[in-house]
Amino acid sequence: MNNFRKNLSLAWIICAFVNPLLALSAPPEGQRWIPIPELTDEFNTHDFDHSKWNDSNPQWKGRAPGFFSSTNVMQTDGLLELSARKEALPEALQPYHNYSTSAVKSKHKVMYGYFEIRAKPMKAGVSSAFWFYDAQPEQWTEIDVFELGAGIPEHERAYHMNAHVFHTEAYKGSVADHIKYPATWTAPWPLADDYHLYGLEWDEKKIKWYVDGKVLRTLDNIYWHYPLYMNFDSEIMLDWFGLPMDNQLPATYKIDYVRSWKRND
């Protein structure tokens, strides 16, 4: 057993030397953490794990004109791939037309923890997003780890972090009139050029956004005390990113892994 541990440690050191981001892949120090298996996936097989994930959003068909198509969700070569395409859609799918996008939604909810993905957003005028939400009659809140339009010149370095409160027991709002907490960090690199680590720490007091192990933003947790679903998706956001250019499609948002932990207390 001791030799096994030594070999494992040596292998980790070698991997971390080859890819320094692996050395950063861990929950924040100062707490005792345990993994959340149902929200952790290395995507190292060719079989999409339907026990953990939906390959579309069962409650939402997408943001028109882009339709969430399960055919755009692939797991191959150790990656989860979410694609966007320009294609003719059946008339029956109106108001969706000309574009198909993609969504992966967890089958399990979570409240509080540290969540991290290693990912490379698509280089197109279609969003690459990692977010949490649940929309119920008694509560509807959302935390967006990122929403990126990395193929648009004015957004190629813009790391958009948002949090929304539509309604809770304490706040009776609506979709049109809801609380928003937007923020944007300008990355020193074009976001679609390479893989980076993106994380969210969420507890009863604070919400923190991370990139490559560094805290970008801290928000007081006033409203986000409900279990939420984890989501990865691509959307066509007309009001924000406009329509993608034809020569940008098809494009793919690639996720190497998702790892989740909760505090041991």
What residue ranges do the domains of the chain occupy?
A: 27-263
Residue 23: count other Cβ atoms within 10 Å of its Cβ. Answer: 13
Instruction: Report helix, strand or coil for 191.
Output: helix
Fold of 27-263: Jelly Rolls (2.60.120)
Q: Are 248 and 128 in contact (CB under 8 A)?
A: no
Instruction: Kindly report the pTM of this predicted structure.
Output: 0.90
Give the span between the Cα atoms of 211 and 217, in whole angstroms.
10
d(CA 185, CA 174): 28
- Collapsed DSSP state (helix, strand, coil) of residue 72: helix
Nearest to 139 by CA among 163, 106, 168, 160: 168
112-122 b/e (C-beta count within 10 Å ≥ 16 → b): bbbbbbbbbbb
Q: Strands 99-110, 66-68: parallel, antiparallel or unpaired by DSSP?
A: parallel
Secondary structure E strands in 181-243 = 183-186, 196-202, 206-211, 214-220, 228-234
> Three-class SS of residue 18?
helix
Task: Name the percent of the chain lying above pLDDT 90.
Answer: 82
What's the token pair of residue 228?
A: 């939420």
pLDDT of 23 reads 55
Instruction: Return the pLDDT at 10.
Output: 45
For 6, phi then psi, to 5°, come to -65, -45
**How far apart are alpha carbons 207 and 238 in whole angstroms?**
28
What pLDDT does residue 19 have?
55
- Supply the pLDDT for residue 172: 80
pLDDT, tens digit (0-9, with 9 covering 90-100), for 48-84: 999 999 999 999 999 999 999 999 999 999 999 999 9
Amino acid at 45: T
List the Cα angle 59/65/68 in 5-degree steps.
Answer: 40
The one-digit pLDDT tens for each residue of the chain (265 residues) are 444 334 433 443 444 444 555 556 789 988 899 999 999 999 998 899 999 999 999 999 999 999 999 999 999 999 999 999 999 999 999 999 999 999 999 999 999 999 999 999 999 999 999 999 999 988 999 999 999 999 999 999 999 999 999 998 878 877 778 999 999 999 999 999 999 999 999 999 999 999 999 999 999 999 999 999 999 999 999 999 999 999 999 999 999 999 999 999 7
